[in-house]
Amino acid sequence: MVQVSQALVAGDSDAFFVTVPAAAVGPAECALLAEGAQACRLPAPVCASEVTERSSRGGMILNNLSLCYQNKLILAPMVRVGTLPMRLLALDYGADIVYCECRGIKPRALSMLELIDLKMLQCKRVVNEVLSTVDFVAPDDRVVFRTCAKEQNRVVFQMGTSDAERALAVVRLVENDVAGIDVNMGCPKEYSTKGGMGAALLSDPDKIEKLEDTLSLVKRIERTGVAAIAVHGRKHEERPQHPVHCEVIKAIAGTLSIPVIANGGSHDHIQQHLDIENFRQATGASSVMVARAAMWNPSIFLKDGLRPLEEVMQKYIRYAVQYDNHYTNTKYCLCQMLREQLESPQGRLLHAAQSSQEICEAFGLGTFYKETTQEIDARRVELLAKTPEEVGEPAEDTSGVIKMAVKFDRRAYPPQITPKMCLLEWCRREKLAQPVYETVQRPVDRLFCSVVTIAEQKYQSTLWDKSKKLAEQTAAIVCLRSQGLPEGQLGEESPSHKRKWEAPAQDPGGPRTQKPVPPGELCKKPFSTLDNGEESPLEGW
């Protein structure tokens, strides 16, 4: 099934929706919707008899039960917010349907945008037996979309697309792991419209100024065969501080026979659970989609009333650790919940946290973090024992390889220094060939191990890392430590360490009198982002 939505988070930092209720869809766009709706429809129609066909495929339970959009509470798609921990938390508190985050990656930037078809088509579906999840993994080994059996019958996958064939290919990729597909037709931001997605699917929106034109638009969309339409009650140029147009949503709901999902009430209407039903009645909609109010406190879906924020945040953190959510995303979502309390003692602890462990410690969950990570490691070891042939040793012959049990901790190094940089500079100073890194990925848990070769000697850590870049840094540490060389850590500024980086001793009367080049000065490149969320000045090193 396809749900065509006119709502999408419109900003990288502010989780709010913008819609274009007065816009026209051209023949090409309607053809896209019709083709997608026909291709993506699950075997049973919306709200039809609940005939369930279950089978096991790739570790997940498949369920061909169609998703019903009548009288539902829905977690809206939100940039950087709607990851797996937030979706599961919303379901725990009473949400009926949850949307995945609108996520993508701008070139050379951290900004999270919508999941576009081109990005998803590069992904590979991977069953993560350690976490009991299904991951869609990009070529750079980033998890673009992660889901689990607990949400399978209630998660909607939203994407941006401008091509029916690409959209269909994405649907085929995710159809066994989600309950519905949503096509974004509302985002007015350049990153969507420039690619022909979002509001660009609505041709000539500026020419449509009357409510009658909007009603004509939604009727035309309905005829394509979509299951439901989500409407955000604001115009293209309006933002969250502007009043939501309940009367427009109500007019649309009264015009269509398919479910209409009302969105945009967080600012004016939704402060507690009872307000959700009041907003639904004010708009005449079938269901209500909640964005910012749920981002601030997901227990807004709870009939018994809002839970204390600290309790909600601790529950969110538990999910984040259990499903290995990246700490930067966890930190971002927690900051949205704290809001005006960011300057409190706990807010300052959160702001200073540079790992999932530090986040847990800031909220009194240090023991939970330790126990949970130990359980995850134990499952990983158990799986490795069952599938030794899939381990994938990092070298054909490990004899003669110098090994240490070490890992790279970004916090232990200055922003401009990494072990790989230090090793490269040492090789240049000693007139050795540049380090050669060979990295393999272990299929069972998708961890990485790297071997670095210097002057025909190999060095390797016995501990595996979450990314190729981290594994290479770890291998460099093994080499540096085995040679007694400084690796650039904080606190290595002692004279003895400095002398190790100085040029060979010169005759007092010799011609060379230049100052030694400190680590990190041989190359000045713009900062890029490592897989651990930190910045490195040397991309690809």
Active site residues: 187
Residue 514: phi and psi, rounded to 5, are -70, 160
Amino acid symbol at 436: V
CA dihedral in degrees (270, 273, 279, 285; nearest 10)?
130
Q: How many of the other CB atoms lie within 10 Å of CB of 163?
A: 15
Residue with tokens 């360490």, as numbered in its chain: 497
Q: Please give the DSSP secondary-structure letter assigned to residue 515.
A: P
From the list 127, 169, 175, the residue with the least C-alpha distance to 148 is 127
Report the phi/psi class of residue 364: left, alpha or beta, with left for phi > 0 and alpha for psi in -120 to 50: left
Under 8 Å between Cβ of 102 and 77: yes
Angle 281-282-288 (CA atoms, 0-180°, nearest 5)? 60
Report the phi/psi class of residue 47: left, alpha or beta, with left for phi > 0 and alpha for psi in -120 to 50: left
Under 8 Å between Cβ of 286 and 260: yes
> What is the length of the chain?
541
Query: In the structure encoding, which two tokens stand for residue 257, read together?
Result: 């026979």
C-alpha span between 476 and 393 (Å, rounded) = 18
Strand pairing of 229-232 and 180-184? unpaired
User: Where are the alpha helices (H) located in 105-238, listed in sequence order?
Assistant: 117-121, 164-174, 190-193, 211-222
Under 8 Å between Cβ of 332 and 110: no
Residue 466 burial by CB count (10 A; 0-12/13-18/19+): exposed, middle or buried?
middle
Q: How many of the other CB atoms lie within 10 Å of CB of 524?
A: 9
Residue with tokens 């969507």, as numbered in its chain: 192
From the list 539, 541, 540, 535, the residue with the least C-alpha distance to 415 is 535
Taking the alpha carbons at both ends of the chain, their separation in whole angstroms is: 45
Q: What is the 3-state secondary structure (H, E, C) of 149-172?
A: HHHCCCEEEEEECCCHHHHHHHHH
